[in-house]
């Protein structure tokens, strides 16, 4: 299986590549812009494309629609860590093979890819329900995903990345990705500072 992973963040691309290439007979090609995706679609003919919602050339869903038009029969899945349920549903209506939250576990991602390659449309109902019911944190400038909240809770409990990964059934490299995202969103200097800010900003109680 040949998967084209498109994201403008090096860490995200490497994380997805590591996960996919270590779970079976999967070859991953990377791209960082919509223009690069279009070029690689012509050159390599991948089996499926995982296209990030927030990357150069996307312009909302315009870049997605352009990629979809150029892909022919190649399934295109939208992936994101920030897109709303409305965006996910809109992409599915446009013809996306599926929507993949970056918070999905390893087995779920591989399962989703296999499902989409069979011609089925993948929509993570559990994620969509959680996203719809998730409240905004007391600090309006800090909005975390449900998975980031779980990672932050583990951090507050003093757990290592390895322990958090085990609890959430994720790869340790994926937890490192969430940690980086948390640091950026909270403006934290380190893990201890992130845990402290989580409490100060009212994101978690203990």
pLDDT tens readout for residues 172-201: 888 988 888 888 888 888 887 887 777 666
76 shares its domain with 125: yes
132-153 residue pLDDT tens: 555 433 444 556 777 888 888 8
Boundaries of domain holding 41:
2-130
126 and 140 housed in the same domain: no
Residue after which a domain boundary falls, among 130, 150, 183 = 130
Asked if residue 163 and residue 73 are part of one domain, the reply reads: no
Length of the chain measured in residues? 206
Are 32 and 49 members of one domain? Answer: yes
Give CA–CA dist 204/13, Å, rounded: 30
- Using alpha carbons, select from 60, 118, 57, 50 the residue that is nearest to residue 84: 60
Quick one: pLDDT band at residue 109, thresholds 50, 70, 90?
confident
Last residue of a domain, one of 93, 112, 130: 130
Residue 205 lies in a domain: no
If one counts the domains in the chain, the total is 2
Considering the domain architecture, whether residues 176 and 124 belong to the same structural domain is answered as no
Q: What is the pLDDT of residue 203?
A: 63
How far is Cα 170 from Cα 85, in angstroms, rounded to an integer?
23
CA distance 75 to 120: 10
In this prediction the pTM is: 0.63
51 and 113, same domain (yes or no):
yes
């Amino acid at each position: 299986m040949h998967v084209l992973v498109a994201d403008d963040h090096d860490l995200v691309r490497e994380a997805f590549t590591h996960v996919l290439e270590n779970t079976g007979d999967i070859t991953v090609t990377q791209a960082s812009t919509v223009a690069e995706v279009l070029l690689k679609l012509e050159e390599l003919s991948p089996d499926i494309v995982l296209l990030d919602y927030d990357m150069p050339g996307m312009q909302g869903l315009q870049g997605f629609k352009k990629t979809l038009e150029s892909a022919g029969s190649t399934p295109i899945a939208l992936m994101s860590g920030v897109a709303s349920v409305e965006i996910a549903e809109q992409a599915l209506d446009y013809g996306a093979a599926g929507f993949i939250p970056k918070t999905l576990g390893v087995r779920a991602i591989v399962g989703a890819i296999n499902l989409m390659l069979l011609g089925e449309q993948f929509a993570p109902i559990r994620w969509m329900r959680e996203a719809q019911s998730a409240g905004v944190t007391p600090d309006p400038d800090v909005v975390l995903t449900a998975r980031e909240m779980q990672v932050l809770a583990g951090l507050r409990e003093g757990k290592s990345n390895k322990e958090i990964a085990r609890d959430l059934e994720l790869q340790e490299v994926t937890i490192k990705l969430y940690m980086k995202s948390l640091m950026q969103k909270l403006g934290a200097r380190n893990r201890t500072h992130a845990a402290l800010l989580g409490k100060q900003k009212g994101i978690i109680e203990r």
